[in-house]
Amino acid sequence: MTILVTGGAGYIGSHAVQRLLRDGHRVVSLDNFFRGHARAMGLLGAKFPGKLESVVGDVTNRECVLEAIRTFGVTTVMHFAAHAYVGESVEQPLVYYHNNVTGLVSVLWACDQAGAGGKRVTRFVFSSSCSTYGQPPAGMIPVREDCPQAPVSPYGRTKLIGEQILRDYAESKRMAGTEFACTFLRYFNVCGCDRSGVLGEDHTPETHLIPVVLQAAMGQRPHVGLFGTDYPTPDGTCVRDYVHVEDLVDAHVRAMSTANAADVRAYNVGIGKGYSVRQIVDTVRAVTGREIKVVEQPRRAGDPPEVFNDPTKIKRELGWNPQVTDIREMIASAWKWFEANPRGYGA
């Protein structure tokens, strides 16, 4: 099977590419290298010779996506390419709507056009987000998939709109009697790195909590800002559900291999435990043995106080069983890569 991975050079996309190559698939990565890393592609290309095609292009360039699908006979798409910073989405909403919403429409247009003359894309896995729920109402945490979706950030809204676009597109295909199955995976907080040590997490700018705290542990930042210490949570800081990137990728593989004809399915991907920002900082201290200075700061716009998952549905229907459930092990896998690559992929 040939799988198109958009955003294949990014943090999650590259881990997906590696897993699919390991499983014996042919993979076409499409990435504009704006935030993705050519070096990650180089490492994977060398590890799996002849199996990976790395196309440099932007998902909003629909002709480029169409050419990639047609040239390589793609039948499955995993659509990771997106901007994914909540704070940045508040400051630059148009950039987010363009990249995340227009980008999705462009990829679907290409799938549609390719089907008219060549191999048909019949499976689509979409990177959605727990941020589509916003702050779930009292009594709905842990969060199930039927929780009302009411995002509180532009980023979350782009993902909810993406789900709606896919529902409409899938319905049009169902009515036309054309096979198209799609799965929305609503990610909780993805973290950790490839445990074989090849791939890592390297964002510029880095804003995600765990890598930020690891950079502070490494002395690359003077301190970690705690964004809000007066939330209605046990220690006043936000609570999130952290899932290891390889377990997240495993959910994609299961979504792809279990999809049937006209399915439109949604699954939350989070292990079902919440950790506060302070607990994460303490765990990084324990894992690294380093001192980390924290500075209390105001709340960050767009952050809900507490979100963690109820993984019942994904476990029951996809047989998903996360292998890394200990937050220390998640952080240790990231620390191992950071220690070996203190300058990230730029080393």
Active site residues: 155
Contact between 124 and ligand UDP per CB under 6 A? no
Integer Cα distance of 108 and 123 in angstroms? 11
Select from 224, 255, 264, 287 the one that contacts ligand UDP (CB under 6 A): 224
Contact between 221 and ligand UDP per CB under 6 A? no
Integer Cα distance of 344 and 244 in angstroms? 19
Contact between 215 and ligand UDP per CB under 6 A? no
Candidates 204-212, 260-268, 323-331, 334-342 — which segment interacts with ligand UDP by CB under 6 A? 204-212
Contact between 256 and ligand UDP per CB under 6 A? no
Q: Which residue is nearest to ligand UDP (CB)?
A: 238
Contact between 227 and ligand UDP per CB under 6 A? yes
Contact between 82 and ligand UDP per CB under 6 A? no
The nearest distance, CB 61 to ligand UDP, in angstroms, is: 27
Which CB sits closer to ligand UDP, 58 or 303? 303
- Other CB atoms within 10 Å distance of the CB of residue 104: 27
Name every residue whose Cβ is closer than 8 Å to that of residue 148 and which is 6 or more positions away in sequence: 133, 136, 137, 140
Contact between 80 and ligand UDP per CB under 6 A? no
Candidates 44-52, 57-65, 114-122, 219-227 — which segment interacts with ligand UDP by CB under 6 A? 219-227
The nearest distance, CB 90 to ligand UDP, in angstroms, is: 11
Beta bridge pairs of residue 150: none
Q: DSSP secondary-structure letter at 32?
A: -
The nearest distance, CB 3 to ligand UDP, in angstroms, is: 26
Name every residue whose Cβ is closer than 8 Å to that of residue 94 and which is 6 or more positions away in sequence: none
Select from 45, 57, 73, 225 the one that contacts ligand UDP (CB under 6 A): 225
The nearest distance, CB 311 to ligand UDP, in angstroms, is: 18
Per-residue x/- mask for ligand UDP, residues 30 to 49, rule CB under 6 A? --------------------
Check if the beta carbon of residue 11 is closer than 8 Å to that of residue 17: no
What are 111's two structure tokens? 């799938």
Which pairs with CB-CB distance under 8 Å and at least 24 residues apart come from 143-150?
A: 143/268, 143/307, 143/308, 143/309, 143/310, 144/268, 144/310, 144/312, 144/313, 145/186, 145/266, 145/267, 145/268, 145/313
Q: DSSP secondary-structure letter at 309?
A: B
Q: For 109-196, list the strands marked E by DSSP.
A: 123-129, 181-187, 189-191
Which CB sits closer to ligand UDP, 182 or 212? 212
The CA R_g of the chain, rounded to the nearest whole Å, is: 19
The residues of the shown chain that bind ligand UDP, judged by CB under 6 A, are 86, 189, 207-209, 212, 224-227, 238, 240, 277, 300, 303
